[in-house]
């Protein structure tokens, strides 16, 4: 088990996808996302394996939850700054974790 302090060390925030592009250079099918986390965190990039469930145009404007305090990770020619969170659905496609109401960008998950 982890402690509450361990949990709070993971900085999960709400962001809004402002851009979603195909990422043909990725080993596994993925999109390159640009996510706005508001003024405190800013705009960050994320590579996300969402192609089985979402089309790029369906992602624009969607609120998502992401871990924003991991170190950036090089994925092919793309630098991913945050980890966008999802759950594997019954068919193996990733389902995004999203708030069920409009909340402020950059809001922290507790």
The torsion angles phi and psi of 85, rounded to 5 degrees, stand at: -95, 145
Q: What per-residue confidence (pLDDT) applies to 67?
A: 98
The model's pTM: 0.94
Altogether, the residues listed in the chain come to a count of 110
Residue ranges and CATH numbers for the domains of the chain are: 11-96 (2.40.50.140)
Q: Is 46 helix (H, G, I), strand (E, B) or coil?
A: strand
Q: Average of pLDDT values for 25-40? A: 96
- The confidence score (pLDDT) of residue 46 equals 98
pLDDT, average across residues 96-106: 97
Mean pLDDT of all residues in 48-72: 97
Average pLDDT, the chain: 96
User: Residue 56 belongs to what H/E stretch?
Assistant: helix 56-59
Angle at 39 between CA 69 and CA 53, to 5 degrees: 60
What are the pLDDT digits (tens) for 2-23? 999 999 999 999 999 999 999 9
């Amino acid at each position: 088990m982890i402690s509450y302090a361990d949990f709070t060390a993971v900085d999960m925030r709400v962001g809004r996808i402002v851009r979603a592009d195909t990422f043909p250079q990725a080993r596994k099918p993925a999109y390159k996302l640009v996510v706005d986390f508001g003024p405190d965190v800013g705009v960050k990039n994320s590579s996300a394996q969402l192609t089985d469930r979402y089309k790029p145009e369906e992602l624009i404007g969607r609120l998502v939850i992401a871990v924003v305090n991991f170190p950036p990770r090089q994925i092919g020619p793309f630098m991913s700054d945050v980890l966008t969170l999802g759950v594997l659905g019954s068919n193996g496609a990733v389902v995004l974790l999203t708030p069920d109401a409009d909340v402020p960008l950059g809001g922290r998950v507790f």
